[in-house]
Amino acid sequence: MNVAGEIETALREKFAPSHLEVIDESDRHRGHAGWREGGNTHFRIRISSSALDALSRVEQHRAINAVLKPQFDAGLHALAIEVGKT
Q: Where are the domains of the chain?
A: 3-84
Q: Nearest-CA neighbor of 2 among 84, 63, 76?
A: 76
Sign of the dihedral defined by the CA atoms of residues 45, 51, 54, 56, in that order: negative
Contact 30, 50 (CB under 8 A): no
Band of residue 42 on the pLDDT scale cut at 50, 70, 90: confident
What was the pLDDT predicted at 49? Answer: 97
Residue 18 scores a pLDDT above 60: yes
Residue 37 scores a pLDDT above 90: no
- The residues pairing with 21 across neighbouring beta strands, listed in sequence order, are 46
Class of domain 3-84: alpha beta
Amino acid at 60: Q
Alpha carbon 83 to its chain centroid, in Å, reads: 11
- Which has the higher per-residue pLDDT, 75 or 70? 70
What was the pLDDT predicted at 33? Answer: 59
